[in-house]
Amino acid sequence: MAKANIPALGLGTFRLKGEQLMGSIHKALDLGYRHIDTAQMYENEETVGAALDAHEVPREEVFLTTKVWHDRLRHDDLLKSLQESVNRLRTDSVDLALIHWPSPDHQVPMDEYIGALAEAKASGLARQIGVSNFTVTQLEQALSVPGGEHIVTNQIEVHPFLTNRKVVEAVQRANLTVTAYMPLAVGKVMKDDTLKRLAEKYQVTPAQLVLAWLHGKDIVVIPSSTSEEHIKANKEALDLTLEDDDIAAIESLDRGERIADPDFAPDWD
C-alpha cells in the first residue's frame, strides 16, 4: 500500500472562520506548523487559501488537506468539487484529498468514488488521497477496489475517551497512517482527573499529555486552536515521551465516547 508523507502535527480548522481562522493559521505558520486541515463542509476553504496566500511561507512548504463531502461523491461531481476546492484554496492541487464520510447507506458505490479520487490524484488535483470515518470493513473494501491502492490514511476520531483501537490497529496493519481528529475531545481532556494528575507529573498540560500519547502511537494529530499559547504548546507536546504505565493509564479512560456521530454515520466498530 501507499505510504503517507503527512506532517505529524497539523492545525485543524473545523468551526473556525474569517479573521479568527486567518489569525490561527498565521500564528501556526509563524510557530513552524506546515500542515493545515480543512474540508468542503467547513465552508472556510476560501479563508484558508487567503491566509496561506498572505503569509510569507511558500505554498509548496505547507501540507494542505481537504475533504469531499458526502453529497459530492458521484464520479463527475467529486472531480468537479475538488477542482472547486482547489480554486477556493488558491492553489493548483491539495497535498491530500479525503473522502470525508463513506456514502450514507451506500447510495454511491465505493468503487465509483474511490476510483474518482484516484483519478484526481492521477490528474494532479491531489498529491495523495485517503478516507475519513471509515470502519474496518469499509477500509478493507476501499483498499480492494481499483484506485484503493493509493489510499494513505484514514482520518478518524481518536482521544483518551475513544481510543478507537480496532480501527487504529487495522489502519496501521495495512501500513497506512492514522490521522486523529478531535484529539483533545473538544476540551474534555482538560477536565479529567487522571489526565490532570499525569500532566502534573510531566509538568505539562493535559492537552500536551494527550498529544504526546497519540504521537507516541505514530498517529498524526490535527488539534484546533485560536490561542497562540495553545498552538505553541501543542507543537512542543511532540517532544514529550511517556512511560508505559502512564500510557496504560491514559488508555484505560476509553469509554467509547464518540463526539462526531451524525445520523448518516456508518455502523461503528
> Can you tell me whether residue 115 is helix, strand or coil?
helix
Q: Report the distance separating Cα 37 and Cα 112, nearest Å.
A: 25
The bridge status of strand 63-68 relative to strand 11-12 is unpaired
Torsion of CA 199, 205, 62, 122, to 10 degrees: 50
- Given the residues 42, 113, 181, 202, the one annotated as active site: 42
Q: Which helix (H) or strand (E) is 11 found in, with range?
A: strand 11-12
Q: Report the distance separating Cα 120 and Cα 230, nearest Å.
A: 35
Q: What angle do CA 179, 184, 185 make, to 5 degrees?
A: 100
b/e 60-72 (16+ beta carbons within 10 angstroms → b):
eebbbbbbbbbbb
C-alpha cell at 59: 505554498
Q: Give yes or no: 42 in active site.
A: yes
Phi/psi class of residue 256: alpha, beta or left (left: φ > 0; alpha: ψ in -120 to 50)?
left
Taking CA atoms, 181 is separated from 59, 80, 87, in Å, by 23, 26, 25
Catalytic residues: 42
